[in-house]
Chain A
Amino acid sequence: MSEPIIDIRGLQNFLGDQWVHTEVNLSVNPGEIVAIIGGSGSGKTTILRCILMLLKPTAGQIKLFGEDIGALEAHEAELLCQRWGVLFQHSALFSGMTVLENIMFPMKELAHLTPSFRRELALLKLILVGLPVHSARKLPSELSGGMQRRAAAARAIAMDPELLFLDEPTSGLDPVSAKQFDDLVLFLRRALNLTIVIVSHDIDSLKRIADRVAFVGDGKILAIDPIDKLMKNEHPLIMDYFSNR
Chain B
Amino acid sequence: MSDNTAALTSSDESQVSYAEFNFNEQEHAYVCVGNWSILSIGPLTESITETFQPPKNQQIRVLGHKLEAFDSAGALLLLQFIDALKTNRNQVVLEQFSDAQTELFELVQSKESGLKKLPESPELTRQKEDFLEFLGRETIEKTHQFDGLILLVGDLTDKIFRAFTQWKRFQIPSIISNINNTGLKALPIIALLSFLIGVVLAYQMGLQLETYGANQFIAYLCGMAIFREFGPLITAIIVAGRTSSSFTAQIGSMKLNEEIDALTTMGLSPTELLVLPKVIGLTLVLPLVVFWADIFGLMGSMIMSNFMLDIGYQEFLLRLQTDVGRDQFMLGLYKAPAFSILIALVGCFQGFQVKAHADSIGSQTTKSVVQALFLIIVADATYSIIYSWMDL
**Interfacial residues, chain A to chain B (CB-CB below 8 A):** 82, 94-96, 100, 107, 110-114, 116-117, 120-121, 123-125, 127-128, 133-134, 136-137, 139-141, 157, 159-160, 191-193
Query: Which of B76, B103, B357, B359 has a CB less than 8 Å from the CB of A121?
Result: B76
Set of chain B residues within 8 Å of A157, measured between Cβ atoms? 72
The answer to whether the Cβ of B37 comes within 8 Å of any Cβ in the partner chain is yes
Structural contact, A117 and B77, CB atoms closer than 8 A: yes
The answer to whether the Cβ of B172 comes within 8 Å of any Cβ in the partner chain is no
**Within the complex, what minimum Cβ distance (angstroms) separates A12 from chain B?**
34
CA distance A107 to B80 in the complex (A): 18
21 example contacts (A-B, Cβ-Cβ < 8 A) are as follows A95-B357, A95-B358, A112-B12, A112-B42, A113-B73, A114-B46, A117-B45, A120-B115, A121-B73, A123-B114, A124-B76, A128-B107, A133-B117, A136-B118, A137-B122, A140-B357, A141-B357, A160-B72, A191-B107, A192-B72, A193-B100
Q: Indicate whether A133 sits within 8 Å of B358 (C-beta atoms), given known contacts A113-B38, A191-B107.
A: no
Contacts between the two chains (Cβ within 8 Å), count: 84
Closest to B46 in A: A114
Structural contact, A127 and B39, CB atoms closer than 8 A: no
**Interfacial residues, chain B to chain A (CB-CB below 8 A):** 12, 37-39, 41-43, 45-46, 48-49, 71-73, 76-77, 80, 100, 103-104, 107-108, 111, 114-115, 117-118, 121-122, 355-359
Structural contact, B38 and A111, CB atoms closer than 8 A: yes
Structural contact, B37 and A160, CB atoms closer than 8 A: yes
Q: Indicate whether A110 sits within 8 Å of B39 (C-beta atoms), given known contacts A116-B49, A127-B114.
A: yes
CA distance A140 to B38 in the complex (A): 25
CA distance A48 to B182 in the complex (A): 42
CA distance A82 to B76 in the complex (A): 19
**Within the complex, what minimum Cβ distance (angstroms) separates A151 from chain B?**
14
Q: Indicate whether A141 sits within 8 Å of B38 (C-beta atoms), given known contacts A114-B45, A121-B76, A160-B73.
A: no
Query: Which of A113, A114, A125, A139 has a CB less than 8 Å from the CB of B357?
Result: A139
CA distance A128 to B107 in the complex (A): 9
In terms of DSSP, what is the predominant structure of the interface of chain B? helix
Query: Which of B37, B100, B111, B358 has a CB less than 8 Å from the CB of A124?
Result: B111
Query: Which of B12, B42, B122 has the most chain A CB within a 10 Å cutoff?
Result: B42
Set of chain A residues within 8 Å of B42, measured between Cβ atoms? 111-113
CA distance A133 to B116 in the complex (A): 9
Closest to B357 in A: A95
CA distance A82 to B100 in the complex (A): 22
Structural contact, B118 and A123, CB atoms closer than 8 A: yes
**Within the complex, what minimum Cβ distance (angstroms) separates A143 from chain B?**
11
Additional pairs, 8, CB under 8 Å, beyond known A117-B76, A133-B114, A136-B118: A110-B39, A113-B38, A113-B41, A113-B73, A120-B80, A121-B72, A123-B118, A128-B72
Set of chain B residues within 8 Å of A134, measured between Cβ atoms? 118
Closest to A159 in B: B38
Structural contact, A96 and B357, CB atoms closer than 8 A: yes
CA distance A136 to B118 in the complex (A): 8
CA distance A133 to B46 in the complex (A): 25
Query: Which of A107, A111, A112, A123 has a CB less than 8 Å from the CB of B115?
Result: A123
Structural contact, B49 and A114, CB atoms closer than 8 A: yes
Set of chain A residues within 8 Å of B45, measured between Cβ atoms? 113-114, 117
Closest to A191 in B: B107
CA distance A171 to B109 in the complex (A): 33
Set of chain B residues within 8 Å of A114, measured between Cβ atoms? 45-46, 49
Closest 9 CB pairs of A and B: A112-B42, A95-B357, A160-B71, A141-B356, A117-B45, A96-B359, A133-B117, A127-B111, A127-B114
